[in-house]
């Protein structure tokens, strides 16, 4: 589970509406999607959970904000391993997942990073967009039934 100090940090850092389309309810959905995919593929649950809560935390608006993933990675970088509750390798994966979750400029084939990205994309229903299997990477996420289920939850 995400620790209270992390939630407190995000509450004080997040500059947009906590209940808005990129706020806490989206983060919670990304977490649920990610945990389900991780059960299927063994992706790192700590990385996914932290990604869910950090990836959109530095958004400056709810529309076009191409640098928000980079700022999220910088925020993660500024925090200690102890505070985050992860090791150096996990921090590297978390920063990669945050930095490139919108532009996908990393050539990574790491299953935990790809699971983070799929978990986020599967919540596109919050803006009325049905996720496309072509744009998803992991086995479970690409299944039409799962895509439909995530869409209905978002």
Which residues of the chain form contacts with Fe ion (CB under 5 A)?
56, 120
Closer to Fe ion by Cβ: residue 69 or 84: 69
What's the min distance (Å) between Cβ of 126 and Fe ion? 9
Q: Are 96 and 108 within 8 A, CB to CB? A: yes
Closer to Fe ion by Cβ: residue 24 or 140: 24
Closer to Fe ion by Cβ: residue 49 or 56: 56
* Dist. CA 13–CA 146, nearest whole Å: 33
The helix-helix angle for 68-77 and 88-99 (nearest 10°) equals 160
**Best CA proximity match to 11, nearest among 57, 48, 80:** 57
What's the min distance (Å) between Cβ of 30 and Fe ion? 6
What's the min distance (Å) between Cβ of 82 and Fe ion? 26
111: its two tokens: 């299953």
């Amino acid at each position: 589970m995400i620790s209270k100090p992390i939630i407190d940090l995000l509450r004080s850092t997040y500059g947009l509406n906590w209940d808005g389309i990129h706020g806490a309810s989206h983060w919670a959905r990304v977490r649920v999607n990610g945990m389900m995919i991780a059960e299927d593929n063994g992706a790192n649950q700590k990385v996914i959970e932290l990604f869910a809560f950090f990836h959109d935390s530095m958004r400056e608006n709810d529309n076009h904000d191409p640098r928000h993933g980079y700022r999220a990675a910088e925020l993660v970088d500024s925090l200690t391993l102890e505070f985050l509750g992860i090791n150096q390798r996990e921090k590297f994966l978390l920063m990669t997942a945050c930095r490139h979750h919108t532009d996908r400029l990393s050539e990574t084939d790491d299953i935990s990073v790809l699971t983070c990205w799929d978990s986020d994309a599967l919540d596109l229903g919050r803006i009325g967009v049905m996720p496309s299997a072509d744009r998803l990477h992991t086995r479970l996420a690409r299944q039409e039934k799962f895509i439909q289920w995530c869409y209905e939850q978002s």
